């Protein structure tokens, strides 16, 4: 059975900032829509197989790569919580701050 998916406010903010960046950069929503669909599809698979993500330096947080982005999440028996979404090229300090 698939886990329920929940986004933290920070994770939603991270995702929205990235999607808006691509809208402004490209002048169209096409890439943002494709990226969002990729994220949704990966989360759907993760909700069924949450242990498939890579364990991070924080043993309670896992990561999954979608295109050039990390999805950071944790889970229990019923719920998968997305705690961060960021570009892989962000500073290591920013990425570490998500894992704390």
Q: Rounded to whole angstroms, how far apart are CA atoms 22 and 53?
A: 26
First to last CA, the chain: 29
Nearest residue to 74 via CA among 52, 95, 50: 50
DSSP state of 32: H
pTM: 0.91
Chunked into runs of 10 residues, the chain (100 residues) has average pLDDT values of: 94 96 96 96 96 93 95 96 92 85
pLDDT for 82: 97
Euclidean distance between CA atoms 61 and 63, whole angstroms:
7
Q: Where are the domains of the chain?
A: 4-99
pLDDT recorded at residue 26: 96
Domain 4-99: give its CATH superfamily. Answer: RelE-like (3.30.2310.20)
């Amino acid at each position: 059975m698939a886990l329920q998916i929940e986004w933290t406010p920070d994770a939603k903010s991270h995702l929205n900032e990235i999607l808006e960046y691509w809208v402004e950069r490209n002048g169209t929503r096409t890439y943002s829509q494709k990226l969002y669909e990729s994220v949704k599809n990966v989360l759907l698979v993760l909700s069924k197989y949450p242990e498939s993500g890579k364990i991070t330096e924080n043993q309670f947080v896992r990561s999954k790569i979608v295109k050039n982005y990390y999805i950071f999440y944790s889970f229990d028996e019923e719920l998968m919580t997305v705690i961060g979404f960021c570009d892989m090229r962000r500073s290591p300090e920013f990425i570490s701050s998500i894992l704390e």
